[in-house]
Amino acid sequence: MVPRRKEPTSIDCEIVEAKGKGPLLELKRYQEQGRLIRVNCATYCDQILDKIDAYYSETAEVLPFICVEGSSGMGKSQLAFALYGRRPYFYWLGGHVQIGDQVLYMNFSSASDAFLKCVENDRVKLVQEDLVLRTESDFYRQELWAYGFIRVLLERCDFKKRGMIRFEEPMALHVTKCDREAVRAAVSNVEKGKGNKLPFFILDEMPPDSDGGLNEAAFQRNVFRACGLLVMLMGTDSKITNLVNHSTKSSGAAHQWVSVVPRFPSYQLLLFTQNEKNTWPEVVGRYSVLGDIAENSRGRFSRLFIDEVVDVFQRDPSVDLCELLDTAFSRVAKETHNSKHFLNSYRGKSAQLLAISYTNAMECESVIEPPQKKQRVQVQTTGMHKHFANLVDKEVTDVSLSNKKLVTDAGGWAPKCSFSAIEDDMLLYLAILGGKRYSSYYDDIDRASYSTKRIFSIVYCNEYAISESTSAPSLDYKRYENMVAHAIFSSSRRNGVRGIGFDDFFQCFLGEFEENTWMQMAVLLEKDVPAHPLTKRKIPFLAPPNAEWPQCILATNLQGCKFGHLVRAPNKDRCDVYVQDVDNKNEKAMLIFECKYRKERINIGVMKGIVDGLNSEWEGWELVVVFCVELAAVDWQHKSIGCVRISRGETAGTVIARWVFQPEQENRKQLVIVIETGEITSSNT
C-alpha cells in the first residue's frame, strides 16, 4: 500500500524579479517596446482594456476569460507590457521557466514557480477531467492552495497604481489553503479600498501539453474565473480556448465564454542599444529595403535581423546589399531553428510545406490575389504551435458556449489557422522558408537536408491538395505538381539573393527528387548537349508559388539582387509552372515546366499534346522541362525540337542525360527536357 502524501499546513515562498544584468536589460527593452505599442497603437490596446472593463462590470460570479493566441515571435509578451493605464495587473508564466527560454522570463520565474507550486499541491493531474473543466463542479467549492495564493496577493499588493505589478524587492508569501469565498472576500476588500482598481491576471506561455496536461492548463484558467477575477491567457497552442466539456448529454443557454485576441500591432521599431542607435539609421540610409523588411516582419524576426545587420555593417561598412541580406537572413533562420526546432516534427514539416505552397496565406488588403491555381486549405492548428501560422480571425472575437459548443454570432467557431501575407511577415518568406545557408527542408536537430520528394512522401496529401485528374493515382496529381513547384522554389534560393546560375540551379533542382536526403547532382552526358542560351542566365530568388514580392524587394534588383516570381499557371496556359524574370519585360516566362503524373508511362501522344499546347499559347518558347514517372520509348516527330531524357544514374548523386532525339544544331529551335522522377511513395515515418 502506497502511503498517502502528507499535506503541508502552509507554503512559504518569495517573489522577486531577477537581479542579473541580462534579465534586467531585457525587462527594460520590453517595457520600452510596450510603451511604443501603447502610444502608437492606442486604439488596439483600448479595445482589449475595454473588454476587461466590460467583463468586470458584469454581475456574474464566474467571468469569461481573454485568450491572446499567436505563433512565436508575434508580440504576445510585448503586448503584456502595453496594457497599462487603467488597472493594475499581474504577469507571470503558465509553466516553469526553463533553460533556453526567453531571458525576459527569468524576471518572472519566482512568481511562476510560487503559483505552480500551489497548483501542483492541488494535485489537479489526479482529478477527473470533467470536474476540472467545469467551474461549477464540487472541485472548485473545496479549499485549494491556488485560492490561497491568489488571496495572499490580493491582501498584500498595492492596487492604486495602473500598470504591471512589479516585485523589484522580495515579497515573502505565507500561503494557506482557502475556499473561493475567502478569495471573493479579498476581492471585495480590494474594491472597497480608496483609489483601488481590481486587478487582472496575465498568464503567458500557457502549455496545455506540459506534464500537467490539459487538466493543469484548464485549472489555471478556471481558478481565477471561479473567484470572479479576469484572467488573460497567452500562448501558441489553440487548445487553451477549447478546454471545455464537449459532452452532449446536457444543454444550457448560450453564455459568453472567451474573447480571442488573434491579431497583434505591427512591429514598433525600437533601437535599444547604442550600437543600434548609431548604426541602423546609417545602413538604412544606404539600403532602405532593410527598414522595410524590419518594419514588416514579426517582432522576434525583426530583432534578430536588425542585430545582425548592425553587427555586419560595423565590421564592414563597405558590405554590399546581397551579402548583408544573405547573412542577416541566415542569422534569423539559425536562431529560429535553434529555439523552435520547427522542422523536427511531422506537424512542423507539414506546416512548412503549406507555408511554401502559399495556398492559404491571409489576404493583404493592398494586394489583389493572383487568379492562378490557389486553393484555400486551413493549416492544422498545430501549425501555430509548431510553426508560424496564426488564427484566421481578423479582430477580437467574442466566443460563447452553447450546448457545449463554441459559437459566435456568425455560427459555430473553432480555432483555424493561416499564414500571413508576404507584406505582413516578410522575414518568414525571405529567411525561414529557405535561403543560402538553411534550405527549405533543413532539420537543424537531425542535421538533415531533406529532399522535397521526401517531404511530400511523408506529409498526408489530403492536408493540402485535392485531385484534379481522374487518371492520376489517388490524390497524387496535384501533389506532384506542387512538389515540382517546391523543388523549383527551394533550388532557386541555394545561392542567396543574387540568384543562382542555371547549371547550378539544375543540379540542385535534380537533387530535390532524391528519395530522402538532398544532394547536388552530377549530370552525366551520354552525348554532348550543346549549351542553351538559358545557361548564361540566373534563376531568381523566388517567392512562393503565385505570390508576389513587394515592390521594395523587387527594387533591390537594381542593387545586385535577383528576385523573381514562380507561377502555378491556370489550365488555359497549357503548362503547370513557370519562372518569371521580372527584369525581362520581353518574355512572359523564363523557364516553363509541365507535369504529367500517370500510372502508365508517358507516350508520344502525350508529348505531342504538350508541344502542341505550348505552340498555341507560348509563341517563341525555347525550352520546357517535362516531369513524369517514366517516359515510354517514343518515335519523336518534331524534327526541329530536341528532346533529352534525364533518369537516375547507377551511382548515388548522379543522373544520366540521354538524347531521345537530337536534331542538327543548326536545325534545333527548341528543346524539351524530360525528367523521370519515379512515383511519390507514401511514408509517414
pLDDT tens by residue, 159-200: 999 999 999 999 999 999 999 999 999 999 999 999 999 999
Across the chain, what does the average pLDDT equal?
Answer: 88
Task: Provide the total of helices (H) and of strands (E) in the chain, helices listed first.
Answer: 20, 25
- Residue 337's alpha-carbon distances to 378, 386, 445, 487, 601, in angstroms, are 24, 12, 8, 21, 41
Higher pLDDT, 287 or 596: 287
Which one, of 230, 266, 490, 228, lies nearest residue 364 by Cα?
266
Give 330's contacts (C-beta < 8 A, 6+ positions apart): 431, 435, 436, 437, 438
pTM reported for the whole predicted model: 0.90
Q: Is the pLDDT of residue 628 over 80?
A: yes
* Pairing of the two strands 390-391 and 417-418: antiparallel
The larger pLDDT score, comparing residue 389 to residue 363, is at 389
Produce one character per residue of 591-621: b if its CB has 16 or more CB atoms within 10 Å, e if not: bbbbbbbbeeebeeebbeebbebbeeebeeb
Instruction: Give the pLDDT confidence score for residue 208 in this predicted structure.
Output: 60
Comparison of pLDDT for 531 and 306, the residue scoring more? 306
Instruction: Answer whether residue 231 shows pLDDT above 60.
Output: yes
Task: Using only the alpha carbons of the chain, give its radius of gyration.
Answer: 29
Report the pLDDT value the prediction gives residue 200, as an integer from 0 to 100. Answer: 98
* Per-residue pLDDT band at 414 (split at 50, 70, 90): confident
pLDDT score of 246: 43
Q: Which pLDDT value is given to residue 475?
A: 42
CA 299 to CA 432: how far, in whole Å? 14
Closest C-alpha to 635, from 625, 627, 643? 643
pLDDT value of position 376: 45
Closest to 431 in 3D by CA, of 73, 182, 2, 120: 73
CA 430 to chain CA centroid, nearest Å: 13
User: Would you say residue 138 has pLDDT above 90?
Assistant: yes
Angle between helices 180-192 and 145-156 (to 10 degrees): 10
- Which of 359-363, 409-413, 456-460, 626-630 has the weakest average pLDDT? 359-363
Summarize the confidence of residues 315-331 as an average pLDDT: 97
Distance of alpha carbon 569 from alpha carbon 576, whole angstroms: 5
378: Cβ contacts below 8 Å, ≥ 6 apart: 360, 392, 416, 417, 418
Greater confidence (300 vs 639) lies with 300
Give the strand pairing for 411-412 and 417-418.
unpaired
Q: Which amino acid is at 355?
A: A
Rounded Cα–Cα distance for residues 355 and 349 (Å): 10
pLDDT, residue 31, reads 96
What is the 8-class DSSP label of residue 430? I
Q: What is the mean pLDDT of residues 401-421?
A: 88
The DSSP line for 213-244 is HHHHHHHHHHHHHTTT--EEEEES-GGGG--S
Render pLDDT for 35-86 as a digit per residue (tens, 0 to 9): 999 999 999 999 999 999 999 998 888 999 999 999 999 999 999 999 999 9
Given this model, what pLDDT does residue 228 score? 96
- Residue 474 pLDDT > 60: no
- The string of DSSP letters for 352-379 reads HHHHHHTSSPPPPTTSPPP-SS----PB
- The separation between CA 175 and the C-alpha centre of its own chain, rounded to angstroms, equals 41
CB atoms within 10 A of CB 682: 14
Place 664 in a pLDDT band, splitting at 50, 70 and 90: confident
- Assess contact for 545 and 489: CB atoms under 8 A: yes
How many Å apart are CA 288 and CA 293, to the nearest integer? 9
Question: How do strand 577-580 and strand 591-596 relate by DSSP bridges?
Answer: antiparallel
What are 579's strand-pairing partners?
Answer: 566, 591
Sign of CA dihedral 117, 121, 125, 130: negative
Q: Which range in 248-257, 417-426, 666-675 is most confidently predicted, on average pLDDT? A: 417-426
Pairing of strands 89-93, 200-204: parallel
Q: Which three cell numbers stand for residue 37?
A: 505599442
User: DSSP for 65-133?
Assistant: EEEEE--TTSSHHHHHTS--SS--EEEEESS---TTS-GGGGGGHHHHHHHHHHHHHTTGGGS-HHHHH
13 falls in which pLDDT band (50, 70, 90)? very high
Picking from 238, 198, 199, 200, the residue whose alpha carbon sits closest to that of residue 217 is 238
Among candidate residues 627, 661, 620, 633, the one with its CA nearest the CA of residue 646: 627
How many other CB atoms are found less than 10 A from the CB of residue 194?
A: 5
- Which pLDDT value is given to residue 369? 42
Asked if residues 436 and 496 have their Cβ atoms less than 8 Å apart, the reply is: yes
State phi, psi for 606 to the nearest 5 degrees: -65, -45
pLDDT band at 464, cuts 50/70/90?
low
Query: Element (H or E) spanning 54, and its range?
Result: helix 42-56
**What pLDDT was estimated at residue 2?**
42
C-alpha cell at 68: 491572446
Question: Does residue 293 surpass a pLDDT of 80?
Answer: yes
Distances (CA, A) of 169 to 13, 29, 247: 14, 20, 47
